[in-house]
Structure 1
């Protein structure tokens, strides 16, 4: 490592060609982060974080899991310990995370934007804590300042259909130069398995849309209303987080009547939640196609495995893992049904189980239409797979069974404003893969040719695909 730097200039670039591709073609491109979970309110308010703990550790399930594995008491993770105590607890853990992507991510995030390129550990923690907090108090380290520092061109947040989008409107009204676009995430409108929770959500959706929801027709009317509301606020992307695509796409007349009884309170369960989800999802996907939107499907997570901690902390607290669901048949049936009348929108499917990479990589080729380049995409490695090995496996499957040059590239899928070095991480991995193959003769030793492909995957393809 040059000059003892943790993250040297040529980090992950193992050949001269790889270094040329990254430094001359990828490094300085803007970032299109088309899917993340950043809070739009914090962007609208140009929030300054009170400490490195608030921006870096709060809500970071990756770090929480590592800390628990290393025996750190929950008080220093999600509990009532001070920000400084929590940071010190994490710093003490970092040396033990060697070979976990957290080790690289953490040091990349300290280097950019804080300019720290030394190891975080128990001895350096205090100095780093003070230094980062001093910077975070400055205007150019606010949420808006950080997005500019990272050269972000577009942020795609993830928003429930009932959201007012007031903060997206505020961002537009401010004239903020970075596009912050809402994404439509209607999962709760599909999940009828828990009828009591579902009815409460439908009431909320009814109020937001101004549509009295009494049957399937009015439910779909309310969802269309909210899609059009989102569209008026700049949305052109939807997202769905599901174990699998529903295996059924139709409902019988009896099931439609059953749904009305669920809404009225005359039934306490629905006989086939999978069919219900498939039917509603199919109908709203037809609206996405009508609008020219991009639809995304994040598939394969098994969530909230630790029932005891679910009871104590609630969902999304670091107890999820990779599921071993069967994906191919239902995915084929769902996309194939939409293709019957040419109602399949641009689609990105994300896989969480690496055993299914080739399934996803071959599935996308079934629905190329000869009109839109890369219409159906095998999305980048996400969640547990957004690390070097996971990214390389996704890139290799896509290359072997699809067309890599049409790929729309990386996204953060993160809740943290410090996660943007993951785009750098991805670009370095991509350039290393192609650069090494240039040197060994597997791909043409033509810098401009391969450099253009790197630029397309890193930025140009996403810009075209999302109509930016």
Structure 2
């Protein structure tokens, strides 16, 4: 018997999987501890004019698919009308079969808009008008979209120079969904291009009300901004790196390298590595002192298409999996912090699936019993947050560590319509457990295993991050 597409038991292949999902996982609140949603739109409680604005703007997953399908850039990031862009996406969707976009697209249409019709060229106009009519109602404002998906906490991604004005507005608004910043100092680490780096340091200095002339000035400024973020409820840092920097260095070498780049001169590779290695350790020590969790997203090879980078800028869909050597640099970095007992809670994410076992075993080297799952291997990220990637991550984590202590899924998204990805993850998770139970590989103890699933979906993250309500609204 054929199973209807995207029915209530989507991805749940056994009776036990269905029971685990519907009785234990489905109703759990969402803690989205890493995303790229714009806080200004939450503060303003934006009302989208149409689904193109809510769905296609900024979504480079969809953009890449459209380009691959032969769609002109005019209909992706260009000056075509919102309807024309949606129409081109609708024509692309049937060609995305077996890509996670096909699942996500129809999940999002169902969960937000009640649309069960398949999206294609023939249905495009009907679906466009139905979704647009709903989006223009108060019930579909940005804040209500978050309420609709049972989001409890949402962590944005923010530069240290950010004023966090929108977060303070939200803290004072009484909005029950906790919107917290994340400290993302990538630009403070980007020492390879002197002109851009110095421009950023000037901007950071303005935000802090200081002048950054020396390496010590930079550390003091980052510490000040770290304190400011903490006062706004921030409990997470994040770094997007090809790999961790772990060079040996002296304080004299670091000072000399900073002085050189601050004077506008380009650094050698060795000088850049020494400066970045020192900065990473100093930032990690700040996180440890404040009790924050540090996140490292490793392995993206970004901006590969130089022509399109010049035309559209970064984060527009020209990135891929990189094949960087990770393990030795990662081990040296973590060991330096652990040796002085300054290694805080840490989550490691890899983009190259070849590094799955590397990271899954690395975390076990630095779990010291002080916190359950203190050093975590994070969820499948970017190109790996689809069914196959999620299953591989969950299976490898189970084999090499304790899946029971896993802090679960995140969206990593720029779209307010992306929250069914949590449902997608939960269905895959329950299907794995359900299959193991029915195969006799796990006991038929649903209270025990259902509790573990609820922990992975929600309770582990709640306990691990320990987000507080002590946010200053001024």
Asked whether the two chains share a fold, i.e. TM above 0.5, the reply is yes
Give me the whole-angstrom Cα distance separating, in 1, the residues matched to 2:358 and 2:100: 25
Q: Is the 8 A contact 2:379 2:408 kept in 1?
A: yes
Give me the whole-angstrom Cα distance separating, in 2, the residues matched to 1:376 and 1:106: 34
Give me the whole-angstrom Cα distance separating, in 1, the residues matched to 2:132 and 2:330: 47
CA-CA distance at 1:3 after TM superposition? 9.2
Give me the whole-angstrom Cα distance separating, in 2, the residues matched to 1:258 and 1:249: 14
CA-CA distance at 1:236 after TM superposition? 0.6
Q: Output one character per residue of 1:40-85: Cα deviation in whole Å (capped at 9) or x when no partner.
A: 0000000011110011011111111111111011111011000000
CA-CA distance at 1:213 after TM superposition? 1.3
Q: Tell me what 1:193 maps to.
A: 192
Q: Is the 8 A contact 1:380 1:411 kept in 2?
A: yes
Aligned to 2:347, the other structure's residue is in SS state strand
Alignment of 1:6-17 (within 5 A): 6-17=5-16
Give me the whole-angstrom Cα distance separating, in 2, the residues matched to 1:261 and 1:15: 62
Query: Any gaps of 5 or more consecutive residues in structure 1?
Result: none
Q: Where does structure 1 differ by over 4 angstroms across 4 or more consecutive aligned residues?
A: 1-4
Number of matched residues? Answer: 466
Q: Tell me what 2:223 maps to.
A: 224
Alignment of 1:249-398 (within 5 A): 250-265=249-264, 267-269=265-267, 272-398=271-397
Q: Tell me what 1:73 maps to.
A: 72
Deviates more, 1:30-39 or 1:274-283: 274-283
Give me the whole-angstrom Cα distance separating, in 2, the residues matched to 1:255 and 1:167: 36
Q: Output one character per residue of 1:157-186: Cα deviation in whole Å (capped at 9) or x when no partner.
A: 000000000000000111100000000000
Q: Tell me what 1:427 maps to.
A: 426
> What is the CA RMSD across the aligned residues, in angstroms?
1.3
Give me the whole-angstrom Cα distance separating, in 2, the residues matched to 1:278 and 1:268: 17
Q: Tell me what 1:60 maps to.
A: 59
Aligned to 1:272, the other structure's residue is in SS state helix
Q: Output one character per residue of 1:284-318: Cα deviation in whole Å (capped at 9) or x when no partner.
A: 10010000000000001001111111111111110
Q: Tell me what 1:412 maps to.
A: 411
Q: Is the 8 A contact 1:46 1:143 kept in 2?
A: yes
Q: Is the 8 A contact 1:36 1:413 kept in 2?
A: yes
Give me the whole-angstrom Cα distance separating, in 2, the residues matched to 1:407 and 1:307: 38
Q: Output one character per residue of 1:74-132: Cα deviation in whole Å (capped at 9) or x when no partner.
A: 11101100000000000011111100000000000101111111200011110000000
Alignment of 1:50-129 (within 5 A): 50-129=49-128
Aligned to 1:180, the other structure's residue is in SS state strand
Give me the whole-angstrom Cα distance separating, in 2, the residues matched to 1:300 and 1:111: 34
Aligned to 1:102, the other structure's residue is in SS state helix
Give me the whole-angstrom Cα distance separating, in 2, the residues matched to 1:309 and 1:428: 37
CA gap of 1:397–1:109, structure 2 versus 1, over 3 A, is: same
Deviates more, 1:111-120 or 1:241-250: 241-250
Q: Tell me what 1:206 maps to.
A: 205
Aligned to 2:113, the other structure's residue is in SS state coil
Q: Tell me what 1:462 maps to.
A: 461
CA gap of 1:285–1:335, structure 2 versus 1, over 3 A, is: same
Give me the whole-angstrom Cα distance separating, in 1, the residues matched to 2:68 and 2:105: 17
Query: Any gaps of 5 or more consecutive residues in structure 2?
Result: 468-474
CA-CA distance at 1:249 after TM superposition? 5.4
Q: Is the 8 A contact 1:350 1:381 kept in 2?
A: yes
Give me the whole-angstrom Cα distance separating, in 2, the residues matched to 1:8 and 1:275: 54
Aligned to 1:287, the other structure's residue is in SS state helix
Give me the whole-angstrom Cα distance separating, in 1, the residues matched to 2:117 and 2:127: 10
Give me the whole-angstrom Cα distance separating, in 2, the residues matched to 1:363 and 1:3: 41
Q: Given the two structures, how large is their TM-score scaled by the length of structure 1? A: 0.98
Q: Given the two structures, how large is their TM-score scaled by the length of structure 2? A: 0.96
Alignment of 1:226-245 (within 5 A): 226-245=225-244
CA-CA distance at 1:412 after TM superposition? 0.1
Q: Tell me what 2:470 maps to.
A: none
Q: Output one character per residue of 1:316-374: Cα deviation in whole Å (capped at 9) or x when no partner.
A: 11010100110000000000100011100100000111111000000000000111000
Q: Is the 8 A contact 1:211 1:221 kept in 2?
A: no
Q: Tell me what 1:136 maps to.
A: 135
CA gap of 1:146–1:262, structure 2 versus 1, over 3 A, is: same
